Amino acid sequence: MGRRSVSASCVMADCCPGDVSAATGGKREQFGSRFLNDPARVFQHNAWDNVEWSEEQEAAAERKVRENSAQRVPPEKQVEYEINAHEYWNDFYKIHENGFFKDRHWLFTEFPELIPCQNQSNVKDLPLKDIDHEIMEHRGSKDGLGLIVSNTQQHKTTSHNLDHKEQKKYPIDEATQQLEHMNINTNNFPGSSATYRILEVGCGVGNTVFPILHTNNDPGLFVYCCDFSTTAVDLVRTNSEYDSSRCFAFVHDLCDEDKNYPVPRESLDIIILIFVLSSIVPDKMQNAISRLSCLLKPGGMILLRDYGRYDMAQLRFKTGRCLSENFYVRGDGTRVYFFTQDELDTLFTTAGLEKIQNMVDHRLQVNRGKQLTMYRVWIQCKYRKPFSPNTS
């Protein structure tokens, strides 16, 4: 990840023609597009966009990573973290429930594909200026599919919906088991009559799903959401805004190759991966992406945002927390990987997808009270399934 990765020209070159950048003369809109031109003004705002790193800063980050990865977690402990991964995420959500993450309204700025062109007139005004990206170094769920949840308005439900009390009584595992026995090769699957289908992997408590449902009121929309954590999915399903006529939440392990998704092949328009791919073992990432690729319609897209190499979260790890190169375990047992653009490009293109966007977002966040600066590094990708009939 060199300096050119974070330059404005690189951001511009990787943006697709229909993306927000095209409407702003090549400059990617992002919460006011604040660019730090005068270092003396660094504490005038909470965050600055596309901040270039000096060669010295990047070299210092590289040294820090070498230091904190010199001592690896013992193999037996690594096996334990893998076997008990679901327990660590369940514990996380039992502690934090739905109070840890903000609703991700910024998604519609970064990923306008979530609001198809024919639905642009349905988009409500969104409070973008005060909403940051994933500031915490935690991500909500390990490997699942999830919906976006908005806590600003309660959705009306149909007579087919479960009410709030009934949802709490309805075991998630039982619902998932019933779905597994469905013949998903027919039209008998949730959302089978929808004209636009979105799946989020790693939904957490719904901070992506509910904003989507609230913002996109297309009657043909159906959103699927799943998560590795049964506790997280339970929180989604028991949320007063959960509308089973427009979405379906289920428990799923992204790495489980023996368990089918509740939708047929080539049935999805969009798959969302927000800070979730980084939470699984690197060796399992390719198979996970390849399986998801099979679910996309020709022309369908995977939208990803995740941790980039040398993000502040990576540099803050202490010695002895490194599992393998650029892969770490947090104090609560959850894990995180830090990507390069090339690594993600290989994962997606190997799965038969074509690049629409692959860019680094260098963001400088500041704590004005403590006069601290925090450099965040995220990678944002959009990869599309080709229309060619020869594409697998």
Strand partners, 296: 268
Most confident option among 6-15, 113-122, 169-178: 113-122
| Three-state SS at 347 | helix
Q: What token pair was written down for 145?
A: 């599919």
**Residue 239 corresponds to which tokens in the numbers above?**
């949320």
- What integer pLDDT is reported at residue 314 of this predicted model? 96
Are 236 and 203 contacting, i.e. CB atoms less than 8 angstroms apart?
Answer: yes
Domain ranges of the chain: 3-185+208-384
pLDDT at 45 over 50: yes
Residue 374 has a pLDDT of 73
Give the CATH number of domain 3-185+208-384. Answer: 3.40.50.150
Residues with Cβ within 8 Å of residue 62, at least 6 apart in sequence: 310
- Taking alpha carbons only, the member of 289, 236, 297, 250 closest to residue 103 is 236
H or E stretch at 165:
helix 164-169
Express each pLDDT in 121-146 by its tens digit.
Answer: 444 444 333 333 343 434 433 333 23
Instruction: Please give the pLDDT value at position 50.
Output: 65
Tell me the two tokens of residue 172: 């998630």
More confident residue, 140 or 71: 71
Per-residue confidence band for 160, with pLDDT thresholds at 50, 70 and 90? very low
Q: Of 115-119, 212-216, 353-357, which gets the smallest average pLDDT? A: 115-119
Q: Per-residue pLDDT tens for 288-314?
A: 999 999 999 999 999 999 999 999 999
pTM: 0.73
Residue 119 binned pLDDT confidence (cut-offs 50, 70, 90): very low
Q: Which is higher by pLDDT, 365 or 54?
A: 54
pLDDT recorded at residue 133 = 37
Task: Look at residue 91 in the predicted model and tell me its pLDDT.
Answer: 75
- Judged on CB neighbours under 10 Å (0-12, 13-18, 19+), 265 is middle
pLDDT of residue 46: 59
Among 103, 105, 120, residue whose Cα is nearest residue 23: 120
**Band of pLDDT at residue 367, cut at 50, 70 and 90:** low
